[in-house]
Structures are given as C-alpha cells and as structure tokens.
Amino acid sequence: PVALAVASSLTGVRVGRVAAWGEVGLTGELRASPQGDRRRGEAGRLGVERILGPGPHDGSLVDALAAVGIAGGRRTALEAAG
C-alpha cells in the first residue's frame, strides 16, 4: 500500500478505491503477508473492486503499479521523483 501511495503521489495518477497488501522485496517481487485470504474476502465484502495482494500468481511491484493505471511501473515513478 505504501509503494502504491508513493508512486501515485509522484506520478499524479489517482488509484481510486484499491485494497492492497503484501511486502515488496528488494528486487520488486510481492511477498505474502498474514491472512491474505481473509483480507481479500473483507475487501470484496466492502465492495472494493480492485484488489491487489500476493496470491497464487504473485507478480511484481511493476505489475501492481500497472494494474492501478501507473503505466511503466517503477521506472515512471522514479523518473517523476527526478
């Protein structure tokens, strides 16, 4: 969630209603955090449509950024930081 917030702030792209959790490794991979299934279920119950969290097809931070509309992922955020 913090990585998405920072990237959103740096690029000016609003991410909207997104539920996100997990840890980001040093190489940008997403790692599981406790009770992921419970978090996913609760977000769905609350009507959140975009849910990003580690799962069977774990992606990377770049994939997560692209999923919320921050094209280019990590590179775009770093370029915006200048």
Q: What is the pLDDT of residues 65-74, one digit of tens each?
A: 787 787 654 4
Identify the band that residue 17 occupies on the pLDDT scale cut at 50, 70 and 90: confident
**Distance from C-alpha of 35 to C-alpha of 17, rounded to nearest angstrom:** 20
Q: Which residues contact 4 (CB under 8 A, 6 or more apart)?
A: 15, 18, 20, 52, 64, 65, 68
**What's the pLDDT tens digit per position in 49-60?**
888 877 665 567
Number of other CB atoms surrounding residue 58 within 10 Å: 13
Q: How far is residue 19 CA from its own chain's centroid?
A: 8
Q: What is the reported pTM?
A: 0.63
